[in-house]
Structure 1
Amino acid sequence: MRVVLTSWGSRGDVEPLAGLAVALRELGAEARVCVPPDEEFEALLDGVGVPMVPLGPSVRSVVTGTRPPSAADAFRLAPELVAARFATLPEAAEGADALLATGLMPAGARSVAEKLGIPYVYGCFHTLGLPSHRFSPPRRPGTPSPDDETDNKVLWEQDAQRVDSLYGGALAEHREALGLPPVDNVRDHVFTDRPWLAADPVLLPGREMTDLDLVQTGAWILPDSRPLPEDLEAFLDAGAPPVYVGFGSMAMHTAKDAARVAVEAVRAHGHRVLLGRGWAALDRVDDGDDCFVVGEVNQQALFRRVAAVVHHGGAGTTTTATRAGAPQVIVPQIADQPFWAGRVAELGIGAAHDGPVPTVGSLTAALAGCLTPETRARARTVADTIRADGATVAARRLLALADAGRRGDASGTGRATESRPGQDDGSRPAQNATVRSRTSTLRS
């Protein structure tokens, strides 16, 4: 059996697909992954022996320019990505039994599955963009809603109109070329009425967050057994656990002095500093032997050996730090990151920095609440509740869906063969029943 997994986004969108692909392989299936042609994604997938098909432009080329991407950039990129999916996925998915799409609004992927007659699943790593009467939609390029509009139903309808303005024209053109009927609502067509949520239920109690019939599998984690580099091991062994600071795929356009700020704030607490270079290109600010810089590294192993993790709040990094039992300070930049910052603070396993631009004073203050015995103990307690089987749960569901599709039992959206909430679907409820997410966090 063969499955195609596709995404366009940063490492936080690609690595979970690698984890799902490995889980599928362990169950005897073949997975092909269609993602952006960034070198680090090629290396990631090659390292676990998963075939990669390049799709669309490099993500790094889009997000690490001299300025943050603008609304005009979004309106140019959206039709380009739709065209890339129609150009790439039909061949990649020829003979496949199912197609799963995630990442930046994968408009076009479901159309390809429809044309090929195979089941389609939309997967997401948070619920921020899923329609809900409980909270308003996130910001999106396009005509903004009036400031005095407060009806969530109206706001979500206007969000759908913004998605249509971004993707609708290109999607209609390519669907017509394939002989497919037009789509009235691009967003809801992409999401389906039963999306899959690849997030841990302790970190994100998903069914409380959306009006859709959500399937929560747990996070799709790619196990990492790589040893830490010898020079990093030597630095870790040379003193007390350092504080790790890294912002992953964030270019940190608004915080150009992030490395200096981080070093001074961490030193103010008497800790050594470990800088993760990332797309922000963090580097040493002086010759102090209390600072070390790392590139791509096994964070699953590293985070178990640090005093705290300061990061941007991507879903993957948040999950990795939480599983490691490391206290966190999240400096949120975009999209779902403010939610994860609020969630970490609410769980008592770290602190949410106020805004995307840290200063020495603000980061020092955030670290003060993070570097305490109480926060460390709480982080270790929560770590024991985080699931590690999400990729396997999702792989089993996907193969069952593909098998039903072969027998002609699937609707093409995945709904017809899904078990209902409460049935034995391989999942389990959050172990910490007191953990609940305030919807106000999603508005930040």
Structure 2
Amino acid sequence: MRFVLSTYGSRGDVEPLVALAVRLRERGAEVRVCAPPDEDFAQRLAGFGVPLVSVGPSARALTKAAPPASSLPERAARLIAGQVEAVTEAARGCDVVVATGVLPAAAGALSVAERLGVRSVSVTFQQLTLPSPERPPLAYPGRPLPPGVTDNEVLWDLDAENANALFGEALATGRASLGLAPVDDVRGYVTGGRPWLATDPVLDPWRGAPGLDVVQTGAWLLPDERPLPAELVAFLEAGEPPVYVGFGSMPMRESADVARVAVDAVRAHGRRVLLGRGWADLDLLDGQDDCLLVGEVNHQALFGRVAAVVHHGGAGTTTTATRAGAPQVVVPQAADQPYWAGRVAGLGIGAAHDGPTPTVVSLSAALGVALSPATGARAKSVATTVRTDGAAEAARLLLTETGRSAPDAPA
């Protein structure tokens, strides 16, 4: 069996596909991953013997460049064209295309699967892209939701209109190059009637929505066997558990002094500090021995040994910290991150910082919640309920359901 897993996005979009690829290979499948050409993605996949098919520009470079919202249709056109080219070549003769990532990239990959006549599965790593009467959609950059409108069905209709306006022309061009007709509803095309939701049911409960038969598999994470660096182990063993502060693939442009703020807020609680460099390029500001800077490390091993985790609220980091039983402070920056911040606070396993730009006072207050004995006890309790088999379950379902007849390829 041959599978192509396609995405475009940050580490949080790529890492779940690594987990799925490994689980599929364990069951004897052949797997290729189409993703941005960033070196850390290539190295991560190469470590498991999974080939990377490069698609589009560097995700890190694009994130740091912060292109204006007005360029979104143009960027979407490039992403779709890149998907059409790369996925078409990678997916010839495959059995299933798994598509995820930003909407135009997923639309491009699904169109390739349609053209080749192979089965496709549309996956999201947070439910906020799935229409639901219970909540409003996320707003696109430069297209805020109209103030005063509280009817979620109206807002989701507007979301569909925005998706068509932003991506419809680019998708039509990409599909024309494949010999396919345009689609009337870009979002509906990507979502389909049976989307997969790769999140944990406790952390992210799906309550249903009309017209959607959602398959919730659990989050796609791998057990990480990498040892922690000797310097980090020595630091952990030299005193009380520190507070980890890292913002993953968020550049933190609105918080130029976020490292200073974080260190001062953690020190205000008498705690030591671990700074994760990340895409924000955090760095130490003094030579005191109560701080240590770390790069790419095993979060699964680390988070169980810290007093709290301060992070941006990406789905992967939130799930990893929850599974580790670590109290959290989520400083959400964009997209789905306020949602995960709310889930952390709602479950009582940490605090949601108010807004993306922390001060010493605001971050210290949030840490006061996270470092309380009640929050620590609750975090450990919730950790025991989080599923650990999401990627394995997804691999099982894919292999079980692949026997279904695929549509014939267009002539």
TM over 0.5: yes
Q: Using the alignment, how far apart are the partners of 2:340 and 2:192 within structure 1?
A: 24
Counting aligned pairs with the same residue, the percent is 62
- The amino acid across from 1:378 in the alignment is R
- Asked if the contact 2:117/2:407 (under 8 Å) is kept, the reply is no
Change (3 A) 1:356 1:143: closer
Shift in Å at residue 176 of structure 1? Answer: 2.0
Residue number in structure 2 paired with 1:180: 180
Residue number in structure 1 paired with 2:83: 85
Residue number in structure 2 paired with 1:53: 53
Residue number in structure 2 paired with 1:95: 93
- Asked if the contact 1:11/1:249 (under 8 Å) is kept, the reply is yes
Q: Could you list the structure 1 runs, at least 4 aligned residues long, displaced by more than 4 angstroms after superposition.
A: 142-145, 208-211
- Alignment length (residue pairs): 406
Greater shift in the superposed pair: 204-213 or 271-280: 204-213
- Asked if the contact 2:208/2:214 (under 8 Å) is kept, the reply is no
Alignment of 1:227-242 (within 5 A): 227-242=227-242
Alignment of 1:240-389 (within 5 A): 240-389=240-389
- Asked if the contact 1:134/1:210 (under 8 Å) is kept, the reply is no
- Asked if the contact 2:263/2:273 (under 8 Å) is kept, the reply is yes
Q: Structure 1 residue 141 and structure 2 residue 141: aligned?
A: yes
- The amino acid across from 2:266 in the alignment is V
Q: Using the alignment, how far apart are the partners of 1:34 and 1:355 within structure 2?
A: 34
Q: Structure 1 residue 113 and structure 2 residue 113: aligned?
A: yes
- Asked if the contact 1:133/1:211 (under 8 Å) is kept, the reply is no
Q: Using the alignment, how far apart are the partners of 1:386 and 1:46 within structure 2?
A: 28
Residue number in structure 2 paired with 1:30: 30
Residue number in structure 1 paired with 2:16: 16
Change (3 A) 1:268 1:145: closer
- The amino acid across from 1:59 in the alignment is A
Q: Using the alignment, how far apart are the partners of 2:27 and 2:78 within structure 1?
A: 35
Shift in Å at residue 212 of structure 1? Answer: 2.0
Q: Using the alignment, how far apart are the partners of 1:289 and 1:362 within structure 2?
A: 25
Residue number in structure 2 paired with 1:435: none
- The amino acid across from 2:121 in the alignment is V
Q: Using the alignment, how far apart are the partners of 2:71 and 2:259 within structure 1?
A: 28
Q: Using the alignment, how far apart are the partners of 1:312 and 1:322 within structure 2?
A: 14
Shift in Å at residue 208 of structure 1? Answer: 4.2
- The amino acid across from 1:397 in the alignment is L
Q: Using the alignment, how far apart are the partners of 1:235 and 1:208 within structure 2?
A: 46
Shift in Å at residue 145 of structure 1? Answer: 4.7
- Asked if the contact 1:142/1:162 (under 8 Å) is kept, the reply is no
Change (3 A) 1:253 1:19: same
- Asked if the contact 2:195/2:213 (under 8 Å) is kept, the reply is yes
Deviations 1:314-365 (A, max 9, x none): 0000000001010000000011110111111111111100110000000000
Deviations 1:88-108 (A, max 9, x none): 111100110000011111121
Report the aligned-residue RMSD: 1.4
Q: Using the alignment, how far apart are the partners of 2:289 and 2:260 within structure 1?
A: 15
Greater shift in the superposed pair: 175-184 or 295-304: 175-184
Q: Extract unaligned runs of 5+ from structure 2.
A: none
Shift in Å at residue 48 of structure 1? Answer: 1.5
- Asked if the contact 1:142/1:165 (under 8 Å) is kept, the reply is no
Q: Extract unaligned runs of 5+ from structure 1.
A: 413-444
